[in-house]
Amino acid sequence: MTTAVHPLRRPRARIRAASAARYAALIAGSAVMVLPFLYMLSTSFKSQTYVLSIPPQFVPHPATTANYSAAWASDDFARYFVNSLVVAICTTTLSLLLSSMMAYGFARFRFRGRELLYRLLLLGLMIPAMMLIIPQFVLAKYLGLIDSLTGLVVFYVAGSLPLNTFLLRGFFAAIPVELEQAMRVDGAGAWSRYRRLILPLAKPALATATIFTFLASWDEFAWSLTIITTPSKQTLPLAISLFQGQNSTLWNLVFAASVIAVLPVIAVFLIFQRYFVQGLTSGAVKG
């Protein structure tokens, strides 16, 4: 099929009308999705006077980048950005290492209790993170992990393990066993098969898990709100929400900081779109 429409026997005018209606609906819908972001971007370049003016300013005039320099330098958002980056990178690295090891163990070995362990792990997919926040706080306090970036990373990693292991296990299991047997014949042990065969072949699944984990920890809010008290240890979402709470009318600054927080996400999403779709659908198809 080369044309945009179905090769059904309909009058050409009707086909064209249907196609136009389809595009009109799509454009209207995506405008609703995107315009709030554009308005936010616009406000981030406004000076304070025009932030809530009636009628609203759509194109900032006069446009200023003062909000960005203020947010980045004097309001310490550079530090929050680094904190977020460190937390997200450490979380992703650790989670990918641990979940790929678990996935390999579950996919390629048969042993007593395997099903039970795997089911327990999948239980973690069903229990939403917020339900555990009170006992996790008590536990973090006991372990001395309160008010530290380590406390964020450790709990983010634990929370991300079920989904990543589930995702990777499915992919590992689909890798032909014969390849591994050939390596075994050559004397390669389990670790070397995991490192030299499974991981390289599973790059697409690892990419999917990487993106989901990175974005989840980059965007996480509730846990950091609960355990972080020192301002210099805040991550971006926490810092933005607290900043807005204290300066409820400085929307231009709030949104300059928000744009700083959102841009990496959008970049990652645009570059790795393909893996998003794979990750989402593997959950749906098997779910």
Partner 1 sequence: MTTHLDSEAAPHTGAAGHPPAKDRPAIGGRLRIRPPQGGRRRNSATQGGAARTALTFIAPGFLLFAALIIYPMVKAFQMSFYDWNVVAGAASDFTGFHNYVKAYHDPVFWRAAANSAVYMALTVPPQVVLGLLVAMLLNNKAPGRALFRVLFYLPVVTSWVVVSLLFQYLFADSGLVNWMLHDVTHLTAKPTPWLAGRWTGMAVVSALGVWKGVGWSMMIFLAALQGVPKELMESAAMDGAGPWRRFRAVTLPAVRPAAVFVTVMLVIGGFNVFTSVLLVTGGGPADSTQVLLTYMYQQAFKNLDFGYGSAIAVLLTLLVFVLSMIQLRVFRDEPEEAA
Residues within window 12-41 making contact with partner 1, judged by CB under 8 A: 19, 22-23, 25-26, 29-30, 32-34, 36-37, 39-40
Alpha carbons 94 and 153: distance in angstroms, whole number: 9
- Cα 52 to chain centroid, rounded: 31
Alpha carbons 126 and 171: distance in angstroms, whole number: 21
Q: Does 263 bind partner 1 (CB under 8 A)?
A: no
- Binding segment for partner 1 among 70-78, 85-93, 183-191, 202-210 (CB under 8 A)? 183-191
Q: Does 258 bind partner 1 (CB under 8 A)?
A: yes
Q: Does 144 bind partner 1 (CB under 8 A)?
A: no
Pair 232, 55: CB distance under 8 Å: no
Backbone CA torsion sign across 250, 251, 252, 256: positive
Out of 61, 63, 73, 191, point to the residue binding partner 1 (CB under 8 A). Answer: 191
Q: Does 127 bind partner 1 (CB under 8 A)?
A: yes
Q: Does 221 bind partner 1 (CB under 8 A)?
A: yes
Minimum distance from CB of 126 to partner 1 (Å)?
8
Out of 88, 102, 153, 167, point to the residue binding partner 1 (CB under 8 A). Answer: 102
Alpha carbons 215 and 51: distance in angstroms, whole number: 29
Query: b/e per residue, 57-94, with b = 16+ CB within 10 A?
Result: beebeeebeebbebbbeebbbeebbebbeebbebbbeb
Minimum distance from CB of 251 to partner 1 (Å)?
5
Alpha carbons 209 and 275: distance in angstroms, whole number: 9
Q: Does 147 bind partner 1 (CB under 8 A)?
A: no
Question: What string of DSSP letters covers 62-105?
Answer: S---HHHHIIIIIT-HHHHHHHHHHHHHHHHHHHHHHHHHHHHH
Q: Does 59 bind partner 1 (CB under 8 A)?
A: no
Q: Does 107 bind partner 1 (CB under 8 A)?
A: yes
Q: Which is nearer to partner 1, 82 or 123 (CB)?
A: 123
Out of 87, 149, 202, 215, point to the residue binding partner 1 (CB under 8 A). Answer: 215
Q: Does 171 bind partner 1 (CB under 8 A)?
A: no
Out of 87, 88, 121, 205, point to the residue binding partner 1 (CB under 8 A). Answer: 121
Minimum distance from CB of 232 to partner 1 (Å)?
19
Out of 15, 66, 98, 199, point to the residue binding partner 1 (CB under 8 A). Answer: 98
Beta carbons within 8 Å of 199's beta carbon, 6+ residues apart: 100, 206
Q: What phi and psi values does residue 78 have, to the nearest 5 degrees?
A: -60, -40
Out of 17, 63, 117, 271, point to the residue binding partner 1 (CB under 8 A). Answer: 117
Q: Does 182 bind partner 1 (CB under 8 A)?
A: no
Q: Does 246 bind partner 1 (CB under 8 A)?
A: no
Minimum distance from CB of 148 to partner 1 (Å)?
15
Q: Does 271 bind partner 1 (CB under 8 A)?
A: no
Question: How far is residue 133 from each of residues 49, 206, 222, 247, measured CA to CA in Å?
Answer: 41, 28, 8, 28
What is the total count of residues that contact partner 1 (CB under 8 A)?
Answer: 111
